[in-house]
Structure 1
Amino acid sequence: MRLFSKPWRTGGRPLSLLLVLLLAAGLTVAIPGCTTNPVTGRSQLMLVSENQAINASRTAYVEMLAPARDEGRINADPEMTARVQGIAEKLVAQAVRYRPETADWDWEIAVIEAPDTVNAFAMAGGKMAIYSGIIEQLELTDDELAQIIGHEIAHALSAHTAEKMSVALASNMAVVGYAMTGERSQIALTGAALGAALAVQLPHSRAMEAEADEIGMELAARAGYNPDAAASLWRKMAAQANGRHPVFLSTHPAPESRQRDLTRMADRFRPLYDEARRGSVPTHPVN
């Protein structure tokens, strides 16, 4: 699965391949699949259901990590792994408060040893990974690391993998539909899993990013991590990206206004952070 070592292009044949795979895997529904974001209530196109995306992501996650696992690069640094997993556990506990049914998800975060890779991602069902490069190159504090992990958890909570698969499917269905038959073969599972893996590497929309910023910051604040770290994280990201384009920014677009928006947002969530730091369960309403 070396295919996933580089960002997947979003135009031309690669995107068409994604749609062919999704259609071949039988992931469409017979009626327009409109639903609402399970956290924010935003209307989402869902031709691929969240459960279908979770099943596909479960297989894709194993396949995507296989090369690094074979090379001994998964959770290779015990100290870094413990740090990442400790923060993730606190954030997942808050995520389950958002959506209690996600307590049944098989939440998992892998730390991939890749010093030159500035990236992190989440798949449906709480399957996540973070590369050592983003931690080391940006010299992340725990508060900043919590913002990244919270942001990725928020993508999973908001069913963004299923949404990206659905949007891609809808936008190209007419083009690739003629190639499909009613047959279902043994490649169906592989096609669905590959479709989920490719969807991870498609850019998030601005709406998805705004949701993940807000939800992730709230999760982190409730878990006792400073919301001001979100803006400082993106300042570091912008500085690190000078003259380059980290993989993370390929899938997580960073408009110039993002730091300003995050700074304003932090003011809203600071009471939750203050409550958490005092050791009380945050109950402060967020407007």
Structure 2
Amino acid sequence: MPIKKIYTEAYLLYDDGLHKVFWLGIEEADEEKGILTNQYMIVDGNEAALLDPGGYFIFDRVARNVISKIDPMNVKYIFFSHQDPDVLGTINLWYEETPNAKLAISSLWVRFVPHLAVTGTSRIIEIPDEGTRFKLGNSSIYALPAHYLHSPGNFSFYDEKSGIFFSGDIGAAAFPEGEWYLFVDNFNEHIKYMEGFHRRYMSSTKALKAWVRMVREVSPKVIAPQHGAIFEGENVGKFLDWLESLEVGIDVYEHLFRFRKL
């Protein structure tokens, strides 16, 4: 279905009264400016965390939706799954907009952050390769390894209270122009929007299978990727089964590594 104006507003994914999770909207104009991206916010009590807040051209919409739900002074963390510009292209703007927030990113990418006009590193948290746990209000958010899927320093984030697993680029779908939906309904039909991306961008079949094993241990209720649509209910299991059977990256493209006189 086409993107409707109603989706410019934040959408509530989970609410138990004290703990809330929001998807932070999308706009029809986004299709003209780059690949569509999802941004999320977790609120527990009076503390909030943003996840993969995105690139420059969506900053106004994301900031507006954040401010509609919580005082930016109460944003405690901003989590970045990896280093791509559609993930952290506005890191300098959020650094100013949320002065109390810690910026959490893989230790592999911290040295690159000053290139994005961030004036200091005292508020940056280096996530170790093995991952870590963050306290948000009375809840816990886990940074879990997703290395080489696709970035060598890559993390997924699991919100224990809601059961939502934020998977970053894993689960991404590239919709054709004019086609978009927030939740996966027909999984088999949705595969065609995911398969090409995963085969090319996920670099390691071994890493992908290891990630699936880890996610199964968590047993999430929802998997929310940074691109495409959200998996819930039986589609969580269908998605993991599909990933587990997929061959990706160098295992698919090894044949290209040979010299040719062009």
How does the TM-score come out when normalised to structure 2?
0.39
Structure with higher helix content? 1
Structure whose CA Rg is larger: 1
How does the TM-score come out when normalised to structure 1?
0.37
Structure with higher strand content? 2
Q: Which is bigger in relative contact order (C-alpha 8 A, separation at least 6)?
A: 1
